[in-house]
Amino acid sequence: MKNIITKLFGPLLPHLGELEGGSRIRRGLSLLALLPFLASAQTVTSPNGNVTVKFSLSDSGQPTYEMSYKGKTVCKPSHLGLELAKDKHASKFMQETDLMDGFKETDHKTTSFDETWRPVWGETATIRNNYNEMEVDLNQPSSNRNIIIRFRVYDYGMGLRYEFPQQNDLNYFVIKEEHTQFAMNGNHTAYWIPGDYDTQEYEYQITPLTGIKDIIRRDREKYKSNSSTTVFSDTGVQTSLQMKTKDGLYINIHEAACIDYPTMHLNLNEKTLTFESWLTPDAVGRKGFIQTPFNTPWRTVLVSDDACDMLSCKLTLNLNEPCKIKDTSWIHPTKYCGVWWNMIVGTKTWSYTNDYPSVRLGVTDYSKCKPNGTHGATTSEVKRYIDFAAKNGLQEVLVEGWNVGWEDWFGHQKLDVFDFVTPYPDFDIKYLNDYAHSKGVKLMMHHETSASAINYERHLEDAFNLMNKYGYDAVKTGYVGDIIPRGEYHYSQLMNNHYQRVVEEAAKHHIMVNAHEATRPTGICRTWPNLVGNESARGTEYEAFGGSVPYHTVMLPFTRLQGGPMDYTPGIFETKLSEWSDNKSFVHSTLCGQLSLYLVMYSPLQMAADLPEHYEKYDDAFQFIRDVACDWDDSKYIEAEPAKYITVARKAKGTDNWFVGGKTGEEAHTAVVKFDFLDKGRKYDCAIYQDAADADYEKNPKAYKISHRTVKKGDILKIKEARGGGFAISLIAK
Ligand code: NOJ
Ligand code: CA
């Protein structure tokens, strides 16, 4: 037996490779991983044996896989394949028959991989990437075309993708639909938002799989309130889709490394309880122009019997390519405040004047109009925020509404909306940047594109040069409204390429990117760590637009955050907006619930989103935002249940200090925190920020208490969280 293994796989036996950041990695083929291969040519098992994926070809030669976890079925036999465009949607030079069936297996390889890499920023200082891989080489004799299906099987899930090597008989093709199935083994509970080509800014619904249709039908009209929305099916949902089975398995479907490809949705066949991929089309319905060689994004399925594993698992990042930026020294986790919440609530405006119902860039003369008196981004107001940031250790100040065009920015499918370089007359760009720098603070740029990607690409180089000139190193971009090129969708291949181009161009200029309304992330921040944030979900702004359910932030870590951090913009202390504005909305969280989000919603970019004057009123609670880190050496999920509660402890980068946060949903919860993660023999100054006994997100959101004590390893704290509440703890090593 040993001889056969050496003969077959000798050339592949262990060799050393280079780890990102310069350390050594171990890469190679473990003999153990080969055993399943020798036993059955179609099966690969995860390193600890929990997850098994089996591949087979059906009688008609259709690729099929099934997946199990500790012997329980996760995906029943599910087909794989691609339907190609053979009509007017592909040019006459790109007419290809389908890649669905008629395949024969030509080769089959199983290998294993184990490396530990260092993210530029993250929840942990190092990430282990350990999987067993199965490559299945297929040929379709009728067309003589070859494809590869590659599976990577981890202890908490698997990824699979299609690969199209360069070959004589397959060079260009157009996708009509990808038919990757995920056949569920029961009518699981699903935590879902409707499939939509243009927005992810939805509240999560919790229903059995067969309950999806009724809700989408019921709410279709309501969905139209977003600025751009295209719901495509009564049974369509977005990824990442979280599910829970009746026997306690957590299953999550998403994708990794979505590059040069449309974003995937899932459509449910209610009869068979099978999800199938449903790609975002382009303006005329095509779903991807492909040139070989090409690899699709990974289709991922996470699975565990412990919900904490859904949150700590790094499978999405691991399936992305290593960092492509050589010098990453300019990329830094950032806490920031900004001229923002006032506009969202409606007490200030992005626009400078009310005189112009429409604006033409370069023609409209702002020196001739009357300022409206409500403009937010004035030199004096920005200066106030810079002072606030400097005083409280926040590194940057976001300023929205600094540039001309906001009087007429949205709703008219206008191509030339902004030029991204011309400030309003009352915003002194040079003075403010110099002033900020003198105080150790940077301004954060804002580029609202109004979804005119064409216009943004035309201005990008000038816009980034302006940022370099004045010393900005981060930009928040935005894509509100219907996409231009007209007819395109936010998540099409063309738009995904646009977002990617912006990130790569920004990297050349040493600029970090935080893209709002762009496609949901799929772990690309591993490869391009200057992508420090995305919105791509319903953020805090919706608390001013009518509110979000209190369990929303207890869902996002299970779903949206699978692909990368979210710029959720937490930290609203004056939760009842009518107390200081005409806005009737309120934030569906207690004040301590807001503090907990700095831990529960991991992001290297964290906003203190409320107004400085509100923080000054609750300065003792604001101390937590001043203290909390946003880059971590270690993270331990203590307890978690989708939509119910999440409690996590994190160790601040380069220190011995820990921070703990807990958030609850609609119901009160008592978190039990055992300090077994602390260093033995060490004492810690512990500050606890918790909901008061009578706190409640609706009736009494600002009731909190702060207490101090000394704790050591092994101590246990029981902390009561109110409805829609939470807690935050800092542990400073003595
Ligand atoms: C929507 C973004 O999510 C929000 O943060 C921003 O203020 C507005 N667009 C204007 O760009
Ligand atoms: Ca938004």
pLDDT at 331 over 50: yes
Residue 88 confidence class, pLDDT cut points 50, 70, 90: confident
Question: Considering only CA atoms, which of 226, 308, 315, 206 is closest in space to residue 552?
Answer: 206
Q: Which residue's CA lies nearest to atom 3 of ligand 1?
A: 516
Closest ligand to the CA of 517: 2
- Amino acid 7: pLDDT: 34
What atom in ligand 1 is closest to the CA of residue 350?
A: 10
In the chain, what is the greatest distance between 2 CA atoms, to the nearest angstrom? 87
**Non-local CB neighbours of 447 within 8 Å, separated by 6+ positions:** 418, 420, 456, 463, 475, 476, 477, 478
Cβ proximity of 295 and 162 under 8 Å:
yes
Q: What is the mean pLDDT of residues 322-335?
A: 98
Cβ proximity of 608 and 711 under 8 Å:
no
Report helix angle 379-392 to 429-438, nearest 10.
20
Closest ligand to the CA of 514: 1
Q: What is the pLDDT of residues 130-155, one digit of tens each?
A: 999 999 999 999 999 999 999 999 99
Residue 244 confidence class, pLDDT cut points 50, 70, 90: very high
What atom in ligand 1 is closest to the CA of residue 535?
A: 3
Which residue is catalytic, options 96, 177, 541, 721? 541
Q: How far is the CA of 615 from the centre of ligand 1 (A)?
A: 22
CA distance 104 to 141: 7
178 tagged catalytic = no
Question: Considering only CA atoms, which of 636, 555, 628 is closest in space to residue 598?
Answer: 628
If one compares 701 and 7, the residue with the highest pLDDT of the two is 701
CA distance 506 to 531: 9
Average the pLDDT over each of 19-28, 129-138, 324-333, 545-554 and give the range with the smallest value: 19-28
pLDDT at 105 over 80: yes
CA distance 120 to 529: 7
- Amino acid 14: pLDDT: 32
CA distance 184 to 73: 8
Helix and strand element counts for the chain (H, E): 14, 38
- Amino acid 21: pLDDT: 38
H or E segment and range at residue 397: strand 396-399
Q: What is the mean pLDDT of residues 354-366?
A: 96
Question: Measuring CA to CA, how many Å separate 729 from each of 596, 687, 689, 702, 706?
Answer: 9, 6, 6, 17, 10
Q: What is the mean pLDDT of residues 396-425?
A: 97
Long-range pairs of 421-425 with CB within 8 A, sequence gap ≥ 24: 421/459, 421/462, 421/463, 421/466, 422/361, 424/352, 424/366, 424/375, 424/377, 425/352, 425/366, 425/367, 425/371
What atom in ligand 1 is closest to the CA of residue 539?
A: 3
For the chain, the residue count is 734
- Amino acid 271: pLDDT: 98
Tokens 């699709």 sit on residue: 296
Closest ligand to the CA of 538: 2
Q: What average pLDDT does the chain have?
A: 94
Q: How far is the CA of 325 from the centre of ligand 1 (A)?
A: 28
**Non-local CB neighbours of 373 within 8 Å, separated by 6+ positions:** none
**Non-local CB neighbours of 231 within 8 Å, separated by 6+ positions:** 194, 195, 196, 216, 220, 223
Question: Considering only CA atoms, which of 296, 317, 265 is closest in space to residue 154?
Answer: 317
Cβ proximity of 423 and 375 under 8 Å:
no
First to last CA, the chain: 58
With the most atoms of ligand 1 within 8 angstroms of its CB, the residue from 202, 226, 343, 400 to mutate is 400
Instruction: Kindly report the backbone phi and psi dihedral angles of residue 214, in degrees, each rounded to the nearest multiple of 5, phi listed first.
Output: -60, -40
- Amino acid 20: pLDDT: 42
Q: Which residue's CA lies nearest to atom 11 of ligand 1?
A: 448
Torsion of CA 588, 254, 282, 197, to 10 degrees: -20
**Non-local CB neighbours of 210 within 8 Å, separated by 6+ positions:** 187, 270, 273
With the most atoms of ligand 1 within 8 angstroms of its CB, the residue from 516, 534, 538 to mutate is 516
pLDDT at 673 over 50: yes
CA distance 44 to 57: 15
Q: What is the mean pLDDT of residues 506-521?
A: 98
- Amino acid 24: pLDDT: 33
Cβ proximity of 721 and 703 under 8 Å:
no
Query: Which two tokens mark 483?
Result: 């996409």
Q: What is the mean pLDDT of residues 692-698?
A: 98
pLDDT at 37 over 60: no
567 lines ligand 1 (CB under 6 A): no
Cβ proximity of 249 and 303 under 8 Å:
yes
375 lines ligand 1 (CB under 6 A): no
Q: How far is the CA of 537 from the centre of ligand 1 (A)?
A: 12
**Non-local CB neighbours of 237 within 8 Å, separated by 6+ positions:** 190, 192, 193, 194, 195, 212, 265, 266, 267, 268, 275
Q: What is the mean pLDDT of residues 38-63?
A: 88
With the most atoms of ligand 1 within 8 angstroms of its CB, the residue from 449, 480, 566 to mutate is 480
- Amino acid 92: pLDDT: 83
Residue 42 confidence class, pLDDT cut points 50, 70, 90: confident
Q: Which residue's CA lies nearest to atom 8 of ligand 1?
A: 478
Q: How far is the CA of 536 from the centre of ligand 1 (A)?
A: 11
Closest ligand to the CA of 609: 1
Q: What is the pLDDT of residues 465-500, one digit of tens each?
A: 999 999 999 999 999 999 999 999 999 999 999 999
Residue 235 DSSP code: T
- Amino acid 93: pLDDT: 82
If one compares 90 and 609, the residue with the highest pLDDT of the two is 609
CA distance 672 to 407: 51
Q: Which residue's CA lies nearest to atom 10 of ligand 1?
A: 448
Residue 36 confidence class, pLDDT cut points 50, 70, 90: very low
Percent of the chain, pLDDT > 70? 94
400 lines ligand 1 (CB under 6 A): yes
H or E segment and range at residue 382: helix 379-392
CA contacts within 13 A on the Cβ side of 370 = 4
- Amino acid 95: pLDDT: 86
Q: What is the pLDDT of residues 574-598, one digit of tens each?
A: 999 999 999 999 999 999 999 999 9
Residue 11 confidence class, pLDDT cut points 50, 70, 90: very low
Q: How far is the CA of 281 from the centre of ligand 2 (A)?
A: 22
Question: Considering only CA atoms, which of 60, 52, 104, 51 is closest in space to residue 79?
Answer: 60
Q: How far is the CA of 409 from the centre of ligand 2 (A)?
A: 15
What atom in ligand 1 is closest to the CA of residue 517?
A: 3
201 lines ligand 1 (CB under 6 A): no
Question: Considering only CA atoms, which of 593, 587, 589 is closest in space to residue 646?
Answer: 593
Question: Considering only CA atoms, which of 218, 300, 305, 294 is closest in space to residue 264?
Answer: 300
Question: Considering only CA atoms, which of 404, 428, 418, 724 is closest in space to residue 587?
Answer: 724
- DSSP labels, 609-636: -S-HHHHHHTHHHHHHHHH--SSEEEEE
Q: How far is the CA of 571 from the centre of ligand 2 (A)?
A: 17
Average the pLDDT over each of 37-51, 332-346, 688-702 and give the range with the smallest value: 37-51
Q: What is the mean pLDDT of residues 333-360?
A: 98
Instruction: Kindly report the backbone phi and psi dihedral angles of residue 458, in degrees, each rounded to the nearest multiple of 5, phi listed first.
Output: -65, -35
CA distance 250 to 263: 23
Percent of the chain, pLDDT > 90? 92
Residue 19 confidence class, pLDDT cut points 50, 70, 90: very low
Q: How far is the CA of 582 from the centre of ligand 2 (A)?
A: 21
What atom in ligand 1 is closest to the CA of residue 340?
A: 7
Q: What is the pLDDT of residues 187-210, one digit of tens each?
A: 999 999 999 999 999 999 999 999
Annotate 8-62 with three-state secondary structure.
HHHHHCCEEEECCCCCEEEEECCHHHHHHHHHCCCEEECCCCCEEEEEEECCCCC
